[in-house]
Amino acid sequence: MHIKTMAEFMAEGIQPEVLFWVGCAGSFDQRAQRITKAFAQILDKVGVSFAILGKEEMCTGDPARRSGNEFLFQMMAYNNIQLLNGYGIKKIVTACPHCFNIFKNEYPALGGEYEVIHHTTFINQLIADGKIIMKEGGAFKGKKITYHDSCYLGRANNIYEAPRAVLEAMDVELIEMKRCKTNGLCCGAGGAQMFKEDEPGNKRINIERTEEALATGATVIAANCPFCTTMLMDGVKNKEQEEHVQVLDIAEMVARSL
């Protein structure tokens, strides 16, 4: 399977339907690469015409902005917008809620206006359009699954139902955690916490969240964010439950159910 870059599309003189913005975690983090591959496979299988930016993609500047470094953020945003506008990008899909949030809410003020879709919403649309058809008795049918709302998809952008609809389409038994949807608890990675040690306290946030997820008795913790996935996996390992409980992105679950 060959994934074409925008440069290749440009050379052929055609526009893809959508740009798949992979994000730094999805590009470099070994665990998150599996999410990226799963989502690319779904797009390929369904026949969506999509491109990536390849080596040209850059950090959106989200961790810089959230930690207070507005200069660096503005630099990254300027360069990204030059690149995206240069290619005439209209529609972006991304598997990272942080990239999603910053494109959707913060780039427009800087001259970067795109239709931005999170991959769980995109997958849900493909299901609704009949383009994704899950196989009968799929890998997760009837399995106890709990779903972790990421802050940047949930509270930040009020997307709670699309990811759940995708899970429903896989016939899972969804068990909600007590803190879910608007009350969902953070995994601990947001606001550039991913890139530093916790401040002094008596517990790590991902442990608190993982304990809650494990208490549901679910065998899969479904996530929608590469950072949440990492945090929850660390939590599951810390609790020595990795033999019994998987942490999976919704795209990975769908890819396994096709």
Partner 1 sequence: MQIVQQILFVLLAAAAVFLFARKVREIRRNIKLGKDAGINDNPSARWRNVLLLAFGQKKMFKRMTPAILHFFVYAGFVIINIEILEIILDGIFGTHRLFAPYLGGLYNILIGCFEILAALVLVSCAIFLVRRNILKLKRLNQGELNGWPKTDANAILITEIVLMALLLTMNAADYNLQQMNVHHYYNTGGPFWVSGLIAPLLSGMGEGGLVALERTCWWLHIAGIFAFLNYLPYSKHLHIVLAFPNAYYAKLVPQGKMDNMKDIQNEVLYMMEPDKAPTDAAAAEPHRFGAKDVNDLSWKNLMDAYSCTECGRCTAVCPANITGKKLSPRKIMMDTRDRMEEMGRNIDQNKEFVDDGKSLLHDYISTEELRACTTCNACVEACPVSIDPLSIILQLRRNLVMEESNAPQEWNMMFGNIENNMAPWKFSPDDRDKWAQELAEA
Interaction residues for partner 1, span 171-190 (CB under 8 A): 179, 182-186, 188-190
Cα(150)–Cα(227) distance, integer angstroms:
9
Selected from 19, 36, 122, 170, the binder of partner 1 by CB under 8 A is 36
Do strands 18-21 and 91-94 pair parallel, antiparallel, or not at all (unpaired)? parallel
Contacts of 151 (CB under 8 A, 6+ apart): 97, 184, 186, 190
Contact flag: residue 12 with partner 1 (CB under 8 A): no
Residues 95-131 as b or e (16 or more Cβ within 10 Å = b): bbbbbbbbbbebbeeeebebebbbbbbbbbbbbeeee
Min CB(131)–partner 1 separation in Å: 20
Min CB(147)–partner 1 separation in Å: 17
Please identify, using beta-carbon distances, which residue of 25 and 170 lies nearer to partner 1: 25
Min CB(28)–partner 1 separation in Å: 5
3-state DSSP helix/strand/coil percent for the chain, to nearest 5? Answer: 50, 10, 40
Counting runs of H as helices and runs of E as strands, what totals does the chain give?
11, 8
Positions 45 through 64 that interact with partner 1 (CB under 8 A): 52, 54-55, 57-59, 61, 63-64
* Span near partner 1 by CB under 8 A; candidates 9-17, 198-206, 218-226, 240-248: 198-206
H or E, element range at 136: none
Please identify, using beta-carbon distances, which residue of 172 and 189 lies nearer to partner 1: 189
- Contact letters for partner 1, residues 90-129 (x by CB under 8 A): -----------x--xxx--xx-------------------
Positions 224 through 253 that interact with partner 1 (CB under 8 A): none
* Number of residues in contact with partner 1 under rule CB under 8 A: 75
- Per DSSP, the residues of 227-241 read HHHHHHHHHHHHTT-
